[in-house]
Amino acid sequence: MAGYARTAMLMAALTALFMGVGWLLAGGTGVVLAFAVAAAMNLFSWWNSDRMVLRMHGARPAEGNSSLHQMVADLAQRANMPVPNVYVIDTDQPNAFATGRSPDRAAVAVTRGLMQRLGRDEIAAVVAHELAHIRNHDTLIMTITATFAGAISMLANFALFFGGRRDSPLGIVGVLAMMVLAPLAALLVQMAISRSREYEADRIGAEICGNPLSLASALTEIQDLAGRIDNHTAERNPGTAHMFIINPLHAHGYDNLFSTHPSTENRIAALRKLPEAQSVPVKTTPPRRRAETGPWG
């Protein structure tokens, strides 16, 4: 519950920031217009987010991958949720994400690198993490927060070019400072929400797969390999980085302050503290690497 309360407070802060920018731009009228724009953007994103993101990353239906489909179906049954559509992304970087406006209309996308380089238990743990995001409606939350952050940046840029309220109590210097700092604050709030949801998805994903250490092992492997293998599509679309289980961006050296994910070491430490992890022996050998063709088709 603490995670949900934190998310609610952060989203309230993002909404207040959005209202503030609208007020600085045009007073009460600006607040109304800002909400109208945000509502239209959120409606469009809510309706089209899954198709947009999947198309952006070149994801294709996992046709012929009966083992992968069966794994997702079994885990969805354990999570007591509808079976999402399954997609594969043609990149060597091991990673995965979930998208969709609701559990009834959702998709899980895994990369070719994930299926080839991780063991079956680790892949199942990654899929369980993504199912947790879907079950928790995180895919909808992150779509809304990303849209709010984009709308705040749009309004701030508009105000910088065309000017805000001349009678603002903050004065012209305060208005200019607000217009510069508001997009930065919105980005930081968006990142905070994303990080909070990752911890919760780790916890619930570990419950779904039944082995927190498999997820911890998968996070270790993905973090190591994602730091050495480029995901060119993700680098061209950094706004989707928060959706992946591990930040896919590294080629341009993004600062940790703006990271969309919490520290992998902290996530692993939290997983090892879960009660289920205490009864599972810790692996002493690294996961076996898959052949390039893999068992998944």
| Binding residue numbers | 129, 133, 198
Mark whether 207 is an active-site residue: no
Instruction: Give the number of other CB atoms < 10 A from CB of residue 157.
Output: 12
> And the tokens for 138?
């995180």
Name the binding residues for Zn(2+): 129, 133, 198
Distance from C-alpha of 125 to C-alpha of 127, rounded to nearest angstrom: 5
DSSP H or E segment with residue 96: strand 96-102
Identify residue 36 by its one-letter amino acid code: A
* Helices 264-272 and 171-209, axial angle in degrees (round to 10): 40
Instruction: State the catalytic residue, choosing from 122, 130, 200, 221.
Output: 130
What length does the chain have? 297
Pairing of β 96-102 and β 105-111: antiparallel
In terms of Cα–Cα distance, which of 62, 215, 204, 56 is closest to 138? 204
Beta bridge partners of 224: none
**Active site residues per annotation:** 130
